Amino acid sequence: MRVLVIGAGAIGGYYGARLVRAGGDVAFLVRAGRAEQLRRTGLQVVSPHGDFAVQPKIMLASDLKQAFDVVLVGVKSYSLDDAMVQFAPAVGSGTMILPILNGLKHIDALTVRFGTERVLGGLANVSAGLDADGRVVQLMANQTIVFGEIDGSLSERALALETLLHVPGIDVRASEAIMQDMWEKFVQLSTLAGITCLMRASIGNILAVPNGEQSIFRLFGECCAVATASGFEPRAPFIEFDRKLFTTMDSPLKASMLRDIERGSITESEHILGDMANRARSLGIDTPLLDLACAHLAAYEVGRRRAAG
Protein backbone atom coordinates (compact mmCIF):
# COMPACT_ATOMS: atom_id res chain seq x y z
CA MET A 1 0.00 0.00 0.00
CA ARG A 2 1.14 3.53 -0.81
CA VAL A 3 0.85 5.78 2.22
CA LEU A 4 0.71 9.57 2.29
CA VAL A 5 1.43 11.09 5.71
CA ILE A 6 0.03 14.58 6.09
CA GLY A 7 2.70 16.65 7.76
CA ALA A 8 5.94 15.60 9.38
CA GLY A 9 5.36 17.02 12.83
CA ALA A 10 5.42 15.14 16.10
CA ILE A 11 2.65 12.62 15.40
CA GLY A 12 2.82 12.16 11.64
CA GLY A 13 6.60 12.36 11.75
CA TYR A 14 6.88 9.66 14.40
CA TYR A 15 4.57 7.09 12.84
CA GLY A 16 5.65 7.89 9.30
CA ALA A 17 9.31 7.49 10.18
CA ARG A 18 8.58 4.10 11.74
CA LEU A 19 6.88 2.98 8.53
CA VAL A 20 9.75 4.24 6.37
CA ARG A 21 12.29 2.49 8.60
CA ALA A 22 10.34 -0.76 8.14
CA GLY A 23 10.51 -0.42 4.36
CA GLY A 24 7.06 1.05 3.73
CA ASP A 25 6.14 2.99 0.59
CA VAL A 26 5.60 6.29 2.37
CA ALA A 27 5.57 9.93 1.29
CA PHE A 28 5.17 13.03 3.47
CA LEU A 29 3.07 16.01 2.38
CA VAL A 30 4.77 19.03 3.92
CA ARG A 31 5.15 22.77 3.45
CA ALA A 32 8.16 24.28 1.74
CA GLY A 33 10.03 25.24 4.91
CA ARG A 34 9.71 21.80 6.48
CA ALA A 35 10.62 20.20 3.14
CA GLU A 36 13.88 22.14 3.01
CA GLN A 37 14.71 21.16 6.59
CA LEU A 38 14.01 17.48 5.97
CA ARG A 39 16.11 17.42 2.82
CA ARG A 40 18.97 18.89 4.80
CA THR A 41 18.79 16.83 7.99
CA GLY A 42 16.53 13.86 7.25
CA LEU A 43 13.64 12.94 9.52
CA GLN A 44 15.21 12.34 12.92
CA VAL A 45 13.51 10.56 15.82
CA VAL A 46 14.76 10.70 19.40
CA SER A 47 13.09 7.85 21.27
CA PRO A 48 13.30 5.82 24.49
CA HIS A 49 13.33 2.84 22.14
CA GLY A 50 16.45 4.07 20.34
CA ASP A 51 17.24 7.08 18.18
CA PHE A 52 17.19 6.81 14.39
CA ALA A 53 16.87 8.85 11.21
CA VAL A 54 15.36 8.20 7.78
CA GLN A 55 15.52 10.08 4.50
CA PRO A 56 11.85 10.66 3.73
CA LYS A 57 10.14 11.00 0.37
CA ILE A 58 8.87 14.56 0.42
CA MET A 59 5.97 16.03 -1.52
CA LEU A 60 4.49 19.50 -1.76
CA ALA A 61 0.79 20.02 -2.49
CA SER A 62 1.61 20.84 -6.11
CA ASP A 63 3.28 17.41 -6.50
CA LEU A 64 0.11 15.41 -5.82
CA LYS A 65 -1.09 13.94 -9.10
CA GLN A 66 -2.48 10.51 -8.18
CA ALA A 67 -4.40 8.73 -5.43
CA PHE A 68 -2.79 6.95 -2.49
CA ASP A 69 -4.09 3.84 -0.78
CA VAL A 70 -3.85 5.37 2.71
CA VAL A 71 -3.82 8.98 3.85
CA LEU A 72 -2.59 9.23 7.45
CA VAL A 73 -3.72 12.56 8.90
CA GLY A 74 -1.80 13.63 11.98
CA VAL A 75 -1.93 17.43 11.79
CA LYS A 76 -3.22 19.70 14.53
CA SER A 77 -6.96 20.36 14.36
CA TYR A 78 -6.50 24.05 13.49
CA SER A 79 -4.58 23.01 10.35
CA LEU A 80 -7.13 20.46 9.14
CA ASP A 81 -9.13 22.71 6.79
CA ASP A 82 -6.02 23.74 4.86
CA ALA A 83 -4.70 20.17 4.92
CA MET A 84 -7.90 18.76 3.39
CA VAL A 85 -7.62 21.16 0.45
CA GLN A 86 -3.98 20.20 -0.05
CA PHE A 87 -4.34 16.41 0.11
CA ALA A 88 -7.65 16.17 -1.79
CA PRO A 89 -5.90 15.16 -5.06
CA ALA A 90 -4.45 12.13 -3.23
CA VAL A 91 -7.92 10.77 -2.35
CA GLY A 92 -9.40 8.30 -4.82
CA SER A 93 -12.36 5.94 -4.76
CA GLY A 94 -10.41 3.30 -2.80
CA THR A 95 -8.43 5.57 -0.49
CA MET A 96 -8.61 5.02 3.27
CA ILE A 97 -8.30 8.22 5.29
CA LEU A 98 -7.00 7.47 8.78
CA PRO A 99 -7.11 10.52 11.06
CA ILE A 100 -5.22 10.31 14.35
CA LEU A 101 -6.08 13.79 15.56
CA ASN A 102 -7.27 14.48 19.07
CA GLY A 103 -10.98 14.94 19.73
CA LEU A 104 -13.99 14.10 17.55
CA LYS A 105 -14.94 17.15 15.47
CA HIS A 106 -12.60 16.25 12.64
CA ILE A 107 -14.55 13.09 11.82
CA ASP A 108 -17.52 15.18 10.69
CA ALA A 109 -15.29 17.51 8.68
CA LEU A 110 -13.57 14.64 6.86
CA THR A 111 -16.75 12.70 6.11
CA VAL A 112 -18.48 15.80 4.75
CA ARG A 113 -15.50 16.54 2.49
CA PHE A 114 -14.58 13.01 1.35
CA GLY A 115 -17.55 10.75 2.13
CA THR A 116 -18.20 8.32 4.96
CA GLU A 117 -16.94 5.36 2.94
CA ARG A 118 -13.38 6.72 2.88
CA VAL A 119 -12.97 7.81 6.50
CA LEU A 120 -11.90 5.56 9.37
CA GLY A 121 -11.96 6.39 13.04
CA GLY A 122 -8.60 6.42 14.76
CA LEU A 123 -6.54 7.58 17.68
CA ALA A 124 -2.89 7.71 18.64
CA ASN A 125 -1.39 7.33 22.07
CA VAL A 126 2.09 8.76 21.74
CA SER A 127 3.72 11.58 23.69
CA ALA A 128 5.98 13.44 21.30
CA GLY A 129 7.00 16.89 20.16
CA LEU A 130 9.36 18.66 17.79
CA ASP A 131 12.52 20.20 19.23
CA ALA A 132 14.24 23.36 18.03
CA ASP A 133 16.13 21.37 15.39
CA GLY A 134 12.99 19.82 13.93
CA ARG A 135 13.62 16.39 15.42
CA VAL A 136 10.70 14.26 16.60
CA VAL A 137 11.26 13.67 20.31
CA GLN A 138 9.26 10.81 21.84
CA LEU A 139 8.77 11.76 25.49
CA MET A 140 7.30 8.50 26.82
CA ALA A 141 7.45 4.88 25.67
CA ASN A 142 3.82 4.55 24.51
CA GLN A 143 3.35 4.37 20.70
CA THR A 144 -0.11 3.00 19.95
CA ILE A 145 -2.50 3.45 17.03
CA VAL A 146 -6.06 2.17 17.37
CA PHE A 147 -8.37 2.46 14.36
CA GLY A 148 -11.45 0.93 12.82
CA GLU A 149 -14.51 1.33 10.68
CA ILE A 150 -16.86 3.93 12.10
CA ASP A 151 -19.81 1.52 11.81
CA GLY A 152 -18.00 -1.05 14.00
CA SER A 153 -17.42 -3.67 11.31
CA LEU A 154 -14.10 -5.48 11.02
CA SER A 155 -13.53 -5.12 7.29
CA GLU A 156 -10.94 -6.69 5.05
CA ARG A 157 -9.38 -3.30 4.40
CA ALA A 158 -9.07 -2.65 8.14
CA LEU A 159 -7.29 -5.96 8.63
CA ALA A 160 -4.99 -5.16 5.71
CA LEU A 161 -4.19 -1.78 7.22
CA GLU A 162 -3.50 -3.39 10.59
CA THR A 163 -0.95 -5.63 8.88
CA LEU A 164 0.63 -2.64 7.16
CA LEU A 165 0.98 -0.70 10.41
CA HIS A 166 2.28 -3.68 12.39
CA VAL A 167 5.94 -2.65 12.36
CA PRO A 168 8.57 -2.17 15.08
CA GLY A 169 7.79 0.99 17.02
CA ILE A 170 4.03 0.94 16.40
CA ASP A 171 1.61 -0.97 18.60
CA VAL A 172 -1.47 -1.25 16.39
CA ARG A 173 -4.96 -2.62 16.93
CA ALA A 174 -7.97 -2.74 14.61
CA SER A 175 -11.02 -2.04 16.75
CA GLU A 176 -14.66 -3.06 16.38
CA ALA A 177 -15.66 -0.20 18.72
CA ILE A 178 -13.57 2.71 17.50
CA MET A 179 -16.10 5.41 18.37
CA GLN A 180 -16.21 4.10 21.95
CA ASP A 181 -12.41 4.13 21.98
CA MET A 182 -12.32 7.68 20.62
CA TRP A 183 -14.88 8.91 23.12
CA GLU A 184 -12.84 7.48 26.00
CA LYS A 185 -9.69 9.15 24.64
CA PHE A 186 -11.75 12.38 24.30
CA VAL A 187 -12.76 12.16 27.96
CA GLN A 188 -9.20 11.44 29.09
CA LEU A 189 -7.68 14.23 27.05
CA SER A 190 -10.34 16.78 28.01
CA THR A 191 -9.69 16.00 31.66
CA LEU A 192 -5.92 16.11 31.34
CA ALA A 193 -5.84 19.23 29.17
CA GLY A 194 -8.52 21.01 31.17
CA ILE A 195 -6.98 20.47 34.60
CA THR A 196 -3.28 20.87 33.72
CA CYS A 197 -3.92 24.02 31.67
CA LEU A 198 -6.27 25.48 34.27
CA MET A 199 -3.73 24.85 37.04
CA ARG A 200 -0.65 25.38 34.80
CA ALA A 201 0.84 22.34 36.52
CA SER A 202 1.57 18.64 36.06
CA ILE A 203 -0.69 15.96 37.52
CA GLY A 204 1.88 15.29 40.26
CA ASN A 205 1.97 18.93 41.31
CA ILE A 206 -1.83 19.18 41.28
CA LEU A 207 -2.07 16.11 43.50
CA ALA A 208 0.34 17.73 45.94
CA VAL A 209 -2.04 20.58 46.84
CA PRO A 210 -5.26 20.62 48.90
CA ASN A 211 -8.33 19.83 46.77
CA GLY A 212 -6.10 18.90 43.82
CA GLU A 213 -7.27 15.31 43.43
CA GLN A 214 -10.89 16.31 43.99
CA SER A 215 -10.62 18.90 41.21
CA ILE A 216 -9.19 16.38 38.76
CA PHE A 217 -12.01 13.92 39.36
CA ARG A 218 -14.69 16.61 39.39
CA LEU A 219 -13.65 17.49 35.84
CA PHE A 220 -13.30 13.81 34.94
CA GLY A 221 -16.87 13.23 36.16
CA GLU A 222 -18.19 16.08 34.04
CA CYS A 223 -16.56 14.70 30.90
CA CYS A 224 -17.74 11.15 31.65
CA ALA A 225 -21.29 12.47 32.00
CA VAL A 226 -21.12 14.01 28.52
CA ALA A 227 -19.83 10.75 27.02
CA THR A 228 -22.54 8.74 28.75
CA ALA A 229 -25.32 11.06 27.60
CA SER A 230 -23.92 10.82 24.06
CA GLY A 231 -24.32 7.04 24.11
CA PHE A 232 -20.71 6.14 24.94
CA GLU A 233 -20.58 5.44 28.66
CA PRO A 234 -16.92 4.92 29.63
CA ARG A 235 -16.13 1.26 30.29
CA ALA A 236 -14.83 -0.05 33.61
CA PRO A 237 -11.25 -0.80 32.42
CA PHE A 238 -10.96 2.75 31.11
CA ILE A 239 -12.20 4.22 34.40
CA GLU A 240 -9.74 2.10 36.35
CA PHE A 241 -6.83 3.03 34.06
CA ASP A 242 -7.56 6.75 34.31
CA ARG A 243 -7.98 6.63 38.07
CA LYS A 244 -4.44 5.26 38.29
CA LEU A 245 -3.21 7.77 35.71
CA PHE A 246 -4.66 10.71 37.62
CA THR A 247 -3.56 9.58 41.09
CA THR A 248 0.11 8.84 40.44
CA MET A 249 2.02 10.93 42.95
CA ASP A 250 4.91 13.00 41.55
CA SER A 251 3.69 12.28 38.02
CA PRO A 252 5.26 14.67 35.45
CA LEU A 253 2.27 14.14 33.15
CA LYS A 254 0.85 17.23 31.52
CA ALA A 255 -1.18 17.77 28.38
CA SER A 256 0.53 18.79 25.15
CA MET A 257 -1.89 21.71 25.26
CA LEU A 258 -0.11 22.98 28.36
CA ARG A 259 3.24 22.60 26.58
CA ASP A 260 1.77 24.73 23.79
CA ILE A 261 0.86 27.40 26.34
CA GLU A 262 4.31 27.29 27.91
CA ARG A 263 5.94 28.11 24.58
CA GLY A 264 3.33 30.68 23.61
CA SER A 265 1.83 28.64 20.76
CA ILE A 266 -1.69 28.27 19.45
CA THR A 267 -3.65 25.47 21.13
CA GLU A 268 -6.35 22.96 20.16
CA SER A 269 -8.56 24.22 22.99
CA GLU A 270 -11.64 24.90 20.87
CA HIS A 271 -11.43 21.55 19.07
CA ILE A 272 -11.13 19.61 22.34
CA LEU A 273 -12.37 21.48 25.41
CA GLY A 274 -14.70 23.75 23.44
CA ASP A 275 -16.26 20.81 21.62
CA MET A 276 -16.76 18.87 24.85
CA ALA A 277 -18.40 21.93 26.46
CA ASN A 278 -20.65 22.51 23.43
CA ARG A 279 -21.80 18.90 23.54
CA ALA A 280 -22.54 19.26 27.24
CA ARG A 281 -24.67 22.35 26.61
CA SER A 282 -26.61 20.65 23.81
CA LEU A 283 -27.36 17.76 26.20
CA GLY A 284 -28.31 20.01 29.13
CA ILE A 285 -25.37 18.84 31.28
CA ASP A 286 -23.86 21.26 33.78
CA THR A 287 -20.05 21.37 33.50
CA PRO A 288 -18.78 24.29 35.61
CA LEU A 289 -15.15 23.20 35.84
CA LEU A 290 -14.97 22.40 32.13
CA ASP A 291 -16.50 25.79 31.36
CA LEU A 292 -13.90 27.49 33.54
CA ALA A 293 -11.10 25.65 31.72
CA CYS A 294 -12.58 26.76 28.38
CA ALA A 295 -12.70 30.38 29.54
CA HIS A 296 -9.11 30.13 30.77
CA LEU A 297 -7.89 28.83 27.39
CA ALA A 298 -9.97 31.38 25.49
CA ALA A 299 -8.42 34.20 27.53
CA TYR A 300 -4.96 32.79 26.81
CA GLU A 301 -5.71 32.75 23.06
CA VAL A 302 -6.91 36.37 23.17
CA GLY A 303 -3.69 37.41 24.90
CA ARG A 304 -1.57 35.41 22.47
CA ARG A 305 -3.20 37.01 19.45
CA ARG A 306 -2.90 40.51 20.91
CA ALA A 307 0.76 39.95 21.68
CA ALA A 308 1.31 38.83 18.09
CA GLY A 309 -0.34 42.02 16.82
List Cβ neighbours of 168 (8 Å cut-off, separation of 6 or more).
18, 21, 22
Alpha carbon 157 to its chain's center: 22
| Amino acid present at 285 | I
CA distance 211 to 214: 5
Instruction: Give the residues across from 147 on adjacent strands.
Output: 122, 174
What sign does the dihedral 246-250-256-258 (CA atoms) show?
A: positive
SS3 101: coil
CA distance 85 to 132: 28
The one catalytic residue in 76, 105, 185, 254 is: 185
CA distance 219 to 211: 12
Per-residue exposure over 12-43, b if at least 16 CB sit within 10 Å of its own CB, e if not = bbbbbbbbbbbebebbbbbeeebbebbeeebb
Task: Annotate 202-268 with three-state secondary structure.
Answer: CHHHHHCCCCHHHHHHHHHHHHHHHHHHCCCCCCHHHHHHHHHHCCCCCCCCCCHHHHHHHCCCCCC
Q: Note if 57 is an active site residue.
A: no
Residue numbers annotated as active site: 185
